Amino acid sequence: MLNSNEQSMNFKNAFAGIMTADIKTSTKWYTNLFDRKSDYNPMNILHEWDFSDGGVLQLVEDKERAGKSSITLLVADIEKIKKTLDEKNLSREEISKGEIAKTITIFDPEKNRITFAENNQGR
């Protein structure tokens, strides 16, 4: 087993992808969810949102894979997320509480899964 100083591949960050059949409609939905426009729109079929502690969400037009994506977004306060989702009238599951994390899951209009997780391990 390699320790963190002996990594065979040194990854800097990760981009998570959500596949959509309609980039324009989905971009509006995610803009509302995140309360801001995408940070980058490098091509017609791609929008990207950067997160302050690292990581990027890519919204990609891919009609064949649309509606089959799943991401988890780490958050500091799950109760605040719950309140925000309720204010936006976004249907959500109840908060799931475990030893490691509390989570809420929602689905975008194309049935992609978005899980918000407050991690109790400091991740």
How much is the average pLDDT of 1-6?
Answer: 57
State the pTM of this model: 0.86
The answer to whether residue 109 sits within a structural domain is: yes
Mean local confidence (pLDDT), 82-101:
92
Q: Is the model's pLDDT at 108 over the cut of 70?
A: yes
Label residue 84 by pLDDT band (50, 70, 90): very high
Q: Is the residue at 4 inside a domain?
A: no
Cα–Cα distances in Å, from 101 out to 32, 66, 115?
Answer: 25, 28, 11
Cα torsion through 95, 101, 107, 108, rounded to 10: 120
pLDDT tens, position by position, 9-68? 877 778 999 999 999 999 999 999 999 999 999 999 999 999 988 899 999 999 999 999
What CATH number is given to the structural domain containing 49?
3.10.180.10
Q: Mind listing the pLDDT tens digit for each residue in 93-104?
A: 888 888 889 999
Beta strands in the chain (DSSP E): 15-20, 40-43, 46-50, 56-61, 70-74, 96-97, 101-107, 113-119
Locate 119 and state its tokens: 């991690």
Domain that holds residue 27: 14-119
Please report whether residue 5 resides in a domain: no
Evaluate whether residue 101 is within a structural domain.
yes
Residue 25: per-residue pLDDT: 97
